Structure 1
């Protein structure tokens, strides 16, 4: 791996970006005799310099400090941060290697698309400075297959190569390929690479001015208070979410860690997790890591609170009706046998006389806040008698089940005592002049809205 320094030529004030840590990019960051976790090397010797490094096969580079003791510079004796890495070779490189040809060392580099609106793809927006040693020499450097015509370097102290790369870069994975030429000489003649950031260029750079050197800053494009130089990105949310009445902030779907919620973009007091959600409100979430709080992600809330309207509090079914005939009706209307029952009745259930049924409306699993009550009568016979004595039983001539008729009442001599259009349940044994009629038999004529005529008698028991 190598040390790399990032510099943005254009001044900026930055938002969160994830850049590779410069301190992690030097070659051979690990234990000698193991494989490098970042750097790779091509699998075959090449007689001539490759014209397309993207077509080669690569494998993990081998950390190998001691192949040429006394000849190769000792990384531990170099000044920091150059001494934070080790030499790398391939695992087929022996210290007695006398093979001539080219091998290619590769650094995969994952980059974001921009740094505060400055696109990575633009030349000179992102510059890497390198300094290092090579056995025997570098013949070229490629960025994403594009040759940069960089060459030179050696393996002895003071013969290092210094160069910079300015792209072209891609958003996402990039490949920096270092072509090394090895040629046999007298005695031991291995090949290898030791590459780090140029300390003169990068050790004191702090392009986001957060007090953390770019060599140690995991987020050089964003000022951060965390030791890593980073604040986390804003948490991932679904920007518009719907809930039933009674939902709280902890019900909101969000992806992140150490989440805090706020009522505005600028409020400083976080909301408790049991804060009831309000319809039409926007809440703002942050996540925190390493002592650093992210920017805020907004979530707009819709509270689904269905309403149900009372159609008729008393309903009559003379032909043995079913639950499905109760009013109101609709695919989102559900009927229950009690106020608190959770199991809705089947629409085919037969209605019972003198029973109360309860209805609610459910939309997207959200139920109306209250249930309406409907009392059902299935006994639809015209009364044979009334006794208006105020005891609440048979006090009136109840024809409610007929839903409004024209009624005439006659005494036994055929004299009309009472009449009313759109009659429901009003006659209580009195005549036109509100005089109480004597007990006895009275005759009625009922004319329905379809002009059907019903006649009969009713016995009046006077007070």
Structure 2
């Protein structure tokens, strides 16, 4: 990597002198880069030329030259005053070009119909062949074949500078991006007005990285949003859009959404993969949903077993939907005073446990505590109840 220095002097100053006239010649191997640096006091921008032609976009103080030719530069100060043209530096290539650089094994997906131009190599004026030596020139539009090996040369200095050595690249077409979406809820039978947590996970099932991932996961009408936490990317609770800039090969990301179950509305929560780069190739695992069926269990905390026919039993709404339930009642000292499997709303406040303080088997007025196991695998429900007479 060589630095060539070109000196300029602004011509619009009355004391200005002309630019240097002596030129330099830089000889490098084909494929080399020569960094040219302009030195001009008070310059705010530059313009570089090769063989007298303007180089588009070359307006910095340093220019990385990769082609043969005669390079010059002019500069401009803040007032737009133009300098004289710099001394000339000529770049010449000599010797044998090296082969282009790149990975010898590269992976693609056959769904995207990859061609030779999709192979990543670093070089100038790349030519593809079907053999390590000699062989036939292949067009950039040549479709890639599974397990095929292709050979690339470069000609940094144009015709006559093509590298004798070629880079061999073997390709495989089985690396198709596949993102899978899964979804869970911590309590699928949560009672209304209680919180639940939805967990959404996206997995990159293959080794290629995937960028610009968009997942749509908006809470339906049967839930009220509380909060969320995403370990990657950002989630917009209003739009329900979860955006992830990048997932590396075999990497995953998780989104947790906390919400309250409402008594009515849609209780099916859906997560869908909307977009990715490259596009997902297996649509069968791009959607996941869970449904919360709000439990109608409702415990009435007060009852009066006095025989008047009104509120005489300890009542639990919908208990008939849980035939395997188990009810236990404790007094304030923590001693069990009543237990029943398959409770059916018939308890009138009598103890069915020995050594319980009672009058004719009936528990005294006061506060007790219950534990109700629905018997369906869901979490037990507990709370207080009051017996009055």
* TM-score, with structure 2 as normaliser: 0.31
Structure with higher strand content: 2
TM-score scaled by length of structure 1: 0.27
Structure 1 or 2, whichever has the larger Rg, is: 1
